[in-house]
Amino acid sequence: MGPGEHLAILSRAVKMLFTLSRGYILCTIFKAVLSSASRYVPIYFSARLLDAILYGAPAGVVARYAGLTVGLGFLLNLLLTWVSVAGEVWEDRLYLERDWMFSEKGMGMEYSSTENHGVALLLSRIREESNSGYNLFFLYNSLAAGIGHVTSIVFSTSLLVSFFTLGGVGTTTKLGMVAGILTILVCGILCTAQENKINVEFFHKNVNVNIMTGKYRRLAGDYSAGMEIRLYGMEKKIVSGRAEAEMEFYHNCMERNKKGVRFLVPGIVLTHLLKFCLYLVLIAAALSGAVSVGSIAKYVACIMLLLEAVSGLVSASQRLCSNNYYLKRFFSYFDIPNDMYQGSLTVEKRLDNEYYVEFVDVSFRYPGAGSYALRHVNLRFRVGEKLAVVGMNGSGKTTFIKLLCRLYDPTEGEILLNGVDIRKYDYDEYMSIFSVVFQDFSLFSFTLGQNVAAAKEYDEERAVTALRRAGFGERLDAMPEGTETYLYKDYSAQGVEVSGGEAQKIAIARALYKDAPFIVLDEPTAALDPVSEYEVYSKFNELSGEHTAIYISHRLASCRFCDNIVVFDAGQIVQHGSHEALLAQECGKYHELWDAQAQYYVSA
Ligand code: ADP
């Protein structure tokens, strides 16, 4: 990474920090300056106080210096405490803002990106790297530390000016002191560079270890996996997996500490050597009267603080550069584009409900997949029509719906809504015309009403109507809190567990509540037997009224009430027509599947 890139990343990160919390960054900087200043007040005034006592100054002067030493120290400490407390409040807010920033990005991401393994890996890496030390917030501390060190350098050098102008200390001695300071600084820079390298290596090694530990930790606490874990005796595997990962972390720590310790020793030895020489020079100067006794401690402390500040500054800048590699990855997550949002056309609101959708030679391959999931699909249907999509598992039915709802864009061909490519429509508006109940639908651990409305605020009457229409009425009446009842126990101890069948009714109620022109049922009934599935589908057909309803099933009998049935096979539409017409084609796929499944619906 070149200096230009380092600077660009730094400036982007600083801007982001300011946007996240201006208050916190200002508090942190102010705190760094104050705490650095608070170290010099006692050094300066106690030297004055000591000299005043030793050299027989009037009692008033002694009292003034004593007052200033204690009083200023007290004031600075009071201010520091206030800034620290304010900083903690801002810090909590900052973490919230950071979490929202991640959530917003995750929610606004294309569906294909959320499914992408590389993106998932990138996100867990960023999370784990944050836990390992390198992150956006590391920058706050480094910047604040840097500002604190600069403040110390300014204070130290201004207090040391008088040392270098002292008449009683020879020029060679002074030059010797400067040489000593420089040697320690160079040694510090080299050692910190090595230490930094060891730390980067350590953080790098631990990313995967942390990801693994986190996964095991979550698995152990995941109550939805609790039954399988107990029934199949997986406890040992989970505990030993976690222990293995944690031991690896422990070994990495040991190795880092062993390697790092030798780079700490030279700095300590040289600093103490310089301190010793400095005391000798200053005591000799004090004995000859060239320097006051009070100044001995002042000069020694200032030189030590100067050394600490300069090496701190160097180390902070080295760590900032290492952190930039992390920040680069961090920003690459936020830079993942969302091409879905490029369209701007509004979806025409037609009173006559005359919408039609057309697939024109559509082919699709999942990102990273070797073969096509859909091949040359051509189909046209109107709003108000009932369409059934049937075919064996894996034949491409769900993929067809994902493309229709723009969860993915076709690899080849186009999908038209009223003759316009759906990519040209505003994405949110286009999405709003679909209600889909997927096979693996999700319910959230929020209230029943919020699940039905898929929103925080909901219209209770509408939610209750949708739930009753979906066949959830009786269960709803048995719930003491009605639509305010929480599902599951994640957010409420009174949360209720719902069965697979009940969950499916809630998911259907969600589709009814949305009241979108297109309603899709993608085998959300997988838990039901074929006869019950048929009942749900034909009941839903009555409920869907004027809307376009698309039914997907690998069970042909469930969709036989539809006049418009398309048959998928290996990603292609192989037949299209009514149940009777398709069954009449004895060599067709529909006939073959019907025969194979006949045993299920003899009584249906
Ligand atoms: P159906 O709904 O008819 O059971 P799908 O549309 O789910 O079939 O799947 C069609 C093909 O696409 C299958 O071969 C399946 O393995 C593949 N497929 C489905 N989802 C993904 C995915 N996210 N990534 C890669 N391949 C997928």
Task: Please tell me if the CB atom of residue 369 comes closer than 6 angstroms to any atom of ligand 1.
Answer: yes
- Looking at residue 396, its pLDDT comes to 94
Is there an atom of ligand 1 within 6 Å of 147 CB?
no
Q: Could you identify the atom of ligand 1 that is nearest to the CA of residue 523?
A: 2
pLDDT, tens only, 518-568? 888 888 766 666 667 777 777 777 777 777 888 888 888 778 878 789 999
**pLDDT for residue 197 is more than 80:** yes
Q: Is 592 in the pocket of ligand 1 (CB under 6 A)?
A: no
Please say if the pLDDT value at position 353 is more than 70. no
The answer to whether 246 and 213 have CB atoms below 8 angstroms apart is yes
CA distances for 504 relative to 414, 446, 480, 522, angstroms: 32, 16, 21, 11
Mean pLDDT of 309-324: 85
Q: What are phi and psi of 389, to 5 degrees?
A: -115, 115
- CATH value of 443-515 in 3.20.20.70, 1.10.579.10, 3.40.50.300, 3.30.450.20: 3.40.50.300
Q: How far is the CA of 418 from the centre of ligand 1 (A)?
A: 28
Residue of the CA atom closest to atom 14 of ligand 1: 394
CA 438 to ligand 1 center in whole angstroms:
13
The dihedral through the CA atoms of 74, 76, 77, 82 has a sign that is: positive
Q: pLDDT of 164-182, one tens digit each?
A: 887 777 888 888 888 988 8
- Burial track 309-326 (b if 16+ CB lie within 10 A, e otherwise): bbbbbbbbebbbebbbbb
Q: Is the CB of 226 under 6 A from ligand 1?
A: no
Cβ–ligand 1 contact at 365 (below 6 Å)? no
| Nearest one of 357, 393, 398, 390 to 374, comparing CA atoms | 398
Question: Which residue puts its alpha carbon closest to atom 5 of ligand 1?
Answer: 396
Helix (H, G, I), strand (E, B), or coil: what is residue 506?
Answer: helix
191: helix, strand or coil: helix
- Ligand 1 atom closest to the Cα of residue 402 is 6
What spacing in Å lies between the alpha carbon of 402 and ligand 1's midpoint?
A: 10
Most informative mutation of 362, 399, 593 for ligand 1 (most atoms within 8 A of CB) = 399
Residue 213 Rama label (left phi>0; alpha psi -120 to 50; beta): alpha
- The answer, yes or no, to whether residue 54 has pLDDT greater than 50, is yes
In the predicted model, is pLDDT for residue 601 greater than 60?
no
Distance CA 449, CA 459 (A): 8
CA distance 8 to 19: 17
Query: What DSSP state is assigned to residue 560?
Result: T
How many Å lie between the centroid of ligand 1 and the Cα of residue 373?
A: 6
Q: Is 493 helix (H, G, I), strand (E, B) or coil?
A: coil
Most confident of 454-458, 506-510, 524-528, 555-559: 506-510
Higher pLDDT, 271 or 558: 271
pLDDT bin (cut points 50, 70, 90) of residue 352 is: low
Two structure tokens written together for 61? 């002067």
The mean-pLDDT minimum among 88-92, 225-229, 367-371 falls in 225-229
The verdict on the CB of residue 295 being under 6 Å from ligand 1 is no
> Is pLDDT at 300 greater than 60 in this prediction?
yes
Distance 38 CA to ligand 1 centre (A): 65
Q: Which residues pair with 496 in a beta bridge?
A: 487
Q: Is the CB of 395 under 6 A from ligand 1?
A: yes
Mean pLDDT of all residues in 37-52: 88
